[in-house]
Amino acid sequence: MKRLLLSLSVLLAGPAVASAADLPPRAAPVLPLPAAPAVSWSGWYLGAHGAWLGDSGEAVRTDAAGVAPAALPARAGLRASGLGGGAQVGYLWQVGEVVAGLEADLSALDVGQGRSSLGVDGPFALRTDLSSQLRWFGTLKGRVGLVLPSLAPFVASSLVYVTGGLATAQIEHQGAITVVPPGVGPAARRTGWRPGFVVGAGAEHRLTPSLSLTSETLYYKLADETLTLARAGDRVGYRFKNDGWISRIGLNVRF
């Protein structure tokens, strides 16, 4: 009887063992990799930039006394552009995907233009010379933007923002009227810092945790300045206007 029971057990267990042998091997459980730490934009930064500035300056005659208005230009275009460079410093705060901050910057430039025109006042020929020269340009502005996923293989993350604030520029405005003959006439020159404002947009890309590439374009408008060219009883006034665009590209180092 024992032999009979043992034989039946072997016969019943055989197919189950064969089926188990045919099952594919079970894969080992895969543990999730830890997420890469998010790149934070908060903190101080310092950087340098190159700049291009295009100024749409002009001089507009406001009045004339003792001089025939027809002998003077009513308007002189002083449009000019040039390259320069400078530095910036700022601080950013990040809350979620929103980043806000303040930045101050200063650019050294040499952007200027002069215009000359000829006219006749009675027996005299008049030459009017008007010029505008911009040498320094600075801003103090705020900005707010959003953090975006990487826009390029070598970029950890990107920040796209809008910006605006105060502007100031050192500009020399000059005007002179030369009488031929005898070669003298009213003249005036003034050099100083003109206030204004800027608005624009830009983007910043994190190349490494401490190094980022930045670029922005701003529209600026500076306060007008009026020069009065006076000599004896002759007096001529010109109002100088300066506005235009400045584009910058640079590198920031974060602390």
Query: Any idea where the domains of the chain sit in the sequence?
Result: 40-254
Q: Which of 11-25, 128-142, 226-240 has the lowest mean pLDDT?
A: 11-25
CA distances from 21 to 16, 26, 97, 226 (A): 9, 12, 54, 98
Residue with structure tokens 């947009």? 201
pLDDT of 57 above 80:
yes
Nearest to 130 by CA among 86, 178, 82: 178
Q: HSE (CB half, 13 Å, CA atoms) of 156?
A: 14
The CA-atom distances, in angstroms, between 79 and each of 2, 35, 101, 203, 245 are 114, 53, 33, 28, 12
Give pLDDT tens digits for 193-218. Answer: 999 999 999 999 999 999 999 999 99
Give pTM, 2 decimals. 0.81
CATH of domain 40-254: 2.40.160
Tens of pLDDT, residues 166-187: 999 999 999 998 887 666 778 8
* Helical (H) or strand (E) element with 83: strand 75-95
Rounded Cα distance, 61 and 177, in Å: 13
